[in-house]
Amino acid sequence: MGHYNSDVRDATTLSRTVRTVRATWAHHRDSGRSLSALVINSRWKRGPASNSGGPFMVSLTQYTPRHLTDVADIWRASEKLGDQLAEIDGAVGVMTYVQPGRRHVGSLSIWADDNGLTQFIKLPYHLEIMDKYRPRGLPIRSAKWWTSEFRVHAALNHSLQMLDTENERRRVVGPKPKDPECGGK
């Protein structure tokens, strides 16, 4: 009986993976960007603050492992970590992404406030992942910015462009807008 459950779980995972790749490819094809810029992302995981009205803090992390074989393990660890968003009040949502042509893997998370991201970074599993993979790749890069509204793929693309156009490890744009009508992209 256990073998049957494993087969069903594997078939479900494969089906979900095929749907993800199809949707990702369609989005990429429509963007007109080069194949090396292809981004494959997980589904969007909503957090407790997913219905907040903004402003929103967008945070993207990008990691480039030295060994391509680490990418799948990092993806799985990132997905498991994303499941812990339910513990954080300020979490709007998160997804994992990979750019196979550039060997980048990371996450896009959106927050209702700074405190949520701070809590996320301090989660024991997050610290464990960072301790394990930090020495096995290039320095982690990140982009953080505020917006009054967002669309997930637009936020992902804007954040990746922020890192593509600068060599800085950390890219922070602007403080939290005082008025929800300002600071948006």
Q: How confident is the model at residue 85 (pLDDT cuts 50, 70, 90)?
A: confident
3-class DSSP state for residue 105? strand
Q: Which CATH class is domain 36-173?
A: alpha beta
Please give the model's pTM, rounded to 2 decimal places. 0.78
3-class DSSP state for residue 71? helix
More confident residue, 40 or 172: 40
The CA-CA-CA angle for residues 152, 83, 161, to 5°, reads 30
Question: Which pLDDT score, from 0 to 100, does residue 167 have?
Answer: 77
Does residue 51 carry a pLDDT above 90?
Answer: yes
Does residue 5 carry a pLDDT above 90?
Answer: no
Question: Which pLDDT score, from 0 to 100, does residue 175 have?
Answer: 62
